[in-house]
């Protein structure tokens, strides 16, 4: 079997362009889908897939690991976020082909399901401007959470901590605490609440917020500072009473090594569409297992990334929970031939061959590329802030 073409299909889904990668073969009707979404770098990733395809046309798509090594090592320059995202999309598509050819779901090829169900968590939003500067009322967080509970979720993630100054004032911290208080009120103690700080905070500010949040028994506290500042993550981890999660912006097992060796977090969050695909997510998870750390793949992307993450989740013993998006665009499931049901608290093991999804290309073509909305965030004095 040979790869005959590698194509990208860009689908604009409001906040991000989903980059769907299709690997075609010389076997009639046999192709695979992957996802290489990387908002604000869409054209870079599309170009990178094109660059990699030159290397891969004519290769046997079933040699997933061999092709991974080729993509990683044969172009001399190591991959950063753009190349690793392109590689991730191709890797997912190769696993899809391998599963379809074998007539088995990808999680079977990865050793078979290690659990009966996979827990999912809902995202309450927080990427929009009104959330970034936290101008929404604290009660809105409770209302959003109630909607997730109605859907059957028992775990949610929110972003109630605004774009912060290097050191924050009590008024800003107390307002964020009010938001979490509203969520806990709506949730009771049986629901797990995660906070994503998006590295909007310095380590010192993350600790300022965290100390006042300690009574709310957070499930995790995500990206409390720049992900590459591993010693700072250690500092935050040791200062606060809840588990720290990070890793969505790290690519390749080598970037995760220091995080693990320094025990800088409790939960690692590789992204199957960035870290190097299903193949690399599995390796990072195995590395984390040797440190008794949990894994929860980051996934705010489209449906192919979601499907890939679910297969990894079912085949990984130290997997904690899966992030899903259900309501970013109302037509989310329309681009799939068969909808992927993730709008509730858990999913059963996938049973269809490959990743178990197929793209309705005519529907997807109705939402062509549009430039992502520019996010420009500043501190109160006009200097550049993280958002
Ligand atoms: Mg995050």
Please tell me whether residues 88 and 124 are part of one structural domain: no
Please tell me the distance between residue 64's alpha carbon and the centre of ligand 1 in angstroms: 28
Please tell me whether residues 86 and 118 are part of one structural domain: no
Q: What is the pLDDT of residue 197?
A: 96
Task: Tell me the H-state helices in the chain.
Answer: 42-56, 64-73, 81-102, 106-109, 129-132, 138-151, 170-187, 203-213, 230-239, 252-261, 277-290, 303-315, 361-364
List Cα–Cα distances, 281 to 105, 150, 319, 349, in angstroms: 17, 32, 11, 18
129 Cβ contact list (under 8 Å, min separation 6): none
Residue 59 domain boundaries: 3-103
Distance CA 14, CA 39 (A): 11
Please tell me the distance between residue 68's alpha carbon and the centre of ligand 1 in angstroms: 26
Distance CA 310, CA 198 (A): 23
Please tell me whether residues 64 and 120 are part of one structural domain: no
Choose the final residue of a domain: 44, 70, 103: 103
Closest CA to 107 of 119, 92, 121: 92
The active-site residue, picked from 123, 198, 274, 311, is 198
- Total domain count for the chain? 2
Please tell me whether residues 89 and 168 are part of one structural domain: no
Count of other CB atoms within 10 angstroms of residue 238: 11
Please tell me the distance between residue 248's alpha carbon and the centre of ligand 1 in angstroms: 6
Please tell me whether residues 312 and 189 are part of one structural domain: yes
Please tell me whether residues 135 and 234 are part of one structural domain: yes
Q: What is the pLDDT of residue 387?
A: 85
Please tell me whether residues 10 and 141 are part of one structural domain: no
In a domain, 368, yes or no: no
Distance CA 319, CA 324 (A): 15
Q: What is the pLDDT of residue 361?
A: 98
In a domain, 85, yes or no: yes
Please tell me the distance between residue 277's alpha carbon and the centre of ligand 1 in angstroms: 18
Please tell me whether residues 88 and 130 are part of one structural domain: no
The active-site residue, picked from 66, 72, 274, 298, is 298
Please tell me whether residues 118 and 244 are part of one structural domain: yes
Closest CA to 134 of 143, 146, 125, 122: 125
Choose the final residue of a domain: 88, 103, 118: 103
Q: What is the pLDDT of residue 375?
A: 82
The model's pTM:
0.97
The length of the chain in residues reads 387
* Model confidence pLDDT, tens digit, residues 256-305: 999 999 999 999 999 999 999 999 999 999 999 999 999 999 999 999 99
Distance CA 373, CA 370 (A): 9
Q: What is the pLDDT of residue 134?
A: 64
Please tell me the distance between residue 219's alpha carbon and the centre of ligand 1 in angstroms: 14
Please tell me the distance between residue 5's alpha carbon and the centre of ligand 1 in angstroms: 33
What is 54-90 written as a DSSP string?
HHHTTS-TT-HHHHHHHHHHTTSSPP-HHHHHHHHHH
Please tell me the distance between residue 61's alpha carbon and the centre of ligand 1 in angstroms: 32
Please tell me whether residues 129 and 60 are part of one structural domain: no
Choose the final residue of a domain: 53, 81, 103: 103
Count of other CB atoms within 10 angstroms of residue 131: 22
Distance of CA 384 to the CA centre of its chain: 25
Is residue 311 flagged as an active site residue?
A: no
Please tell me whether residues 86 and 211 are part of one structural domain: no
Is residue 198 flagged as an active site residue?
A: yes
In a domain, 377, yes or no: no
264 Cβ contact list (under 8 Å, min separation 6): 230, 231, 233, 234, 237, 244, 246, 258
Q: What is the mean pLDDT of each run of 10 residues along the chain (387 residues)?
A: 98 96 98 98 98 98 98 95 98 99 98 98 74 77 95 96 93 95 95 97 97 97 97 98 98 98 98 98 98 98 98 98 94 95 95 98 98 89 93
List Cα–Cα distances, 307 to 199, 239, 297, in angstroms: 27, 36, 12
Please tell me the distance between residue 28's alpha carbon and the centre of ligand 1 in angstroms: 40
Please tell me the distance between residue 116's alpha carbon and the centre of ligand 1 in angstroms: 27
Please tell me the distance between residue 329's alpha carbon and the centre of ligand 1 in angstroms: 20
Q: Rounded to the nearest 10 degrees, how much is the dihedral formed by the CA atoms of 61, 44, 280, 387?
A: -150
In a domain, 195, yes or no: yes
Residues bordering ligand 1, an ion, CB closer than 5 Å: 196, 222
Count of other CB atoms within 10 angstroms of residue 202: 21
Please tell me whether residues 87 and 229 are part of one structural domain: no
Please tell me the distance between residue 317's alpha carbon and the centre of ligand 1 in angstroms: 22
Q: What is the CATH number of the domain that holds 152?
A: 3.20.20.120
């Amino acid at each position: 079997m040979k790869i005959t073409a590698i194509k990208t299909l860009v689908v604009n889904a409001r906040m991000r362009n989903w980059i769907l990668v299709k690997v075609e073969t010389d076997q009639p009707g046999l192709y695979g889908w992957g996802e290489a979404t990387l908002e604000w770098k869409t054209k870079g990733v599309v170009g990178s897939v094109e660059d990699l395809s030159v290397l891969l046309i004519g290769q046997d798509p079933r040699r997933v690991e061999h092709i991974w090594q080729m993509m990683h090592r044969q172009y001399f320059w190591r991959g950063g976020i753009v190349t690793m995202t392109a590689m991730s999309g191709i890797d997912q598509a190769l696993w899809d082909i391998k599963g379809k050819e074998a007539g088995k779901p990808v999680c079977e090829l990865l050793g078979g399901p290690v659990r009966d169900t996979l827990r999912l968590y809902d995202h309450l939003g927080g990427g929009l401007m009104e959330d970034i500067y936290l101008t929404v009322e604290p009660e809105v967080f409770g209302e959003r959470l109630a909607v997730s509970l109605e859907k059957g979720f028992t775990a949610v993630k929110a972003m109630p901590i605004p774009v912060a100054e290097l050191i924050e004032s009590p008024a800003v911290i107390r307002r964020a605490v009010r938001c979490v208080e509203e969520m806990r009120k709506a949730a009771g103690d049986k629901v797990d609440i995660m906070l994503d700080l998006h590295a909007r905070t310095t380590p010192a500010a993350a600790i300022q917020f965290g100390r006042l949040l300690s009574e709310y028994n957070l499930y995790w506290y995500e990206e409390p500072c720049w992900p590459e500042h591993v010693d700072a993550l250690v500092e935050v981890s040791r200062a606060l009473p809840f588990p720290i999660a990070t890793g969505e912006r790290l690519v390749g097992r080598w970037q995760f090594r220091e995080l693990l060796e320094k025990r800088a977090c409790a939960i690692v969050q590789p992204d199957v569409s960035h870290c190097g695909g299903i193949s690399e997510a599995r390796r990072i998870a195995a590395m984390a297992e040797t440190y008794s750390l949990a894994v929860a793949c980051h996934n705010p992307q489209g449906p192919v990334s979601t499907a890939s993450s679910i297969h990894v989740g079912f085949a990984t013993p130290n997997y904690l929970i899966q992030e899903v998006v259900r309501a970013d665009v109302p037509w989310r499931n329309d681009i799939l031939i068969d909808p992927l049901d993730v709008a509730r608290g858990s999913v059963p093991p996938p049973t269809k061959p490959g990743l178990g999804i197929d793209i309705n290309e005519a529907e997807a073509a109705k939402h062509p590329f549009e430039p992502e909305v520019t996010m420009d965030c500043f501190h109160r004095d006009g200097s550049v802030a993280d958002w």
